[in-house]
Amino acid sequence: MIEKHTFDFLKGIAAHNDKEWFEDHRDDYERAKANLADVAGRLIGAASRFDPKVAKANAEPTRCVTRINRDMRFAKGKPPYKTNLFVMLNSVGDYQGSASYYLHVEPGGCYAGGGIFTTEPKALDNIRKRIAASVPKWTGVVESREMKAMFPDGLTSPGELKRAPQGYDPDHPAIEYLRMKGFCANRKLTNRQLQDDDALDVVVGTFEAAQPLVGYLNDAIAG
């Protein structure tokens, strides 16, 4: 599924992260991007079997592959290129404003999963309200046997509040979740797993396990 040349390109950009090297290897980048677009198309078809909204929300597979250029307006002092590529599949619209399924491709740091990493304030507020109002339903999703088996590290977040969010009881039974700023379930994968013949099944199985979380979060965001 993920071809060796894609990993080779990403190893190269990690070692030589400058414009001159990138331009000399632009053809390698285009080849890697085409590989990811092909993977995106296959994942869209497979994921649509358990989440029918995916096909409609991701009509163009090439748009599901993230750009490798870093936005230097917000990354001054950092190298100009990322050292990874993402395939992002949403089920409701723009993945930046909702929960999605994703495959992170980076040599030695691959993973697949579902959730929302960067959360807009209103969306985060809606998620917290939904969790606080129905703790059993939330824990039934994130602490289910299926979730724990597929995602043994539990949920990850880009950050957590040191105290309870304003308006919430510090002793609330779901306070560990209410302090989170994002909600992601990630499954670590090796380079080899993503190159094996059953790679598609492995990633799709991961997405399917994350579907209850993705659905819960998007329902909460919608209000």
Please write down the HEC assignment for all residues of 163-184: CCCCCCCCCCCCHHHHCECCEE
**Count of domains in the chain?**
1
pLDDT digits (tens, 9 = 90+) for 33-69: 999 999 999 999 999 999 999 999 998 999 999 999 9
Does the structure show a pLDDT above 70 at 184?
yes
Does the structure show a pLDDT above 70 at 10?
yes
Alpha-carbon span 123 to 131, nearest angstrom: 12
Does the structure show a pLDDT above 70 at 94?
no
Does the structure show a pLDDT above 60 at 95?
no
For 164, which DSSP code? P
As a whole number, the mean pLDDT across the chain is 94
For 197, which DSSP code? T
How many CB atoms are located within 10 Å of the residue 12 CB?
18
For residues 6, 111, 183 and 136, what is the CA-based torsion angle, rounded to 10 degrees? Answer: 150
Q: Is 23 in a helix, a strand, or coil?
A: helix
Does the structure show a pLDDT above 70 at 19?
yes
Does the structure show a pLDDT above 70 at 73?
no
pLDDT of residue 75: 61
CATH of the domain at 174: 3.30.930
- Band (163; pLDDT cuts 50, 70, 90): very high
Does the structure show a pLDDT above 80 at 86?
yes
Q: Which domain holds residue 152?
A: 4-222
Alpha-carbon span 216 to 127, nearest angstrom: 9
- As a whole-number percent, the residues of the chain with pLDDT over 70 amount to 96
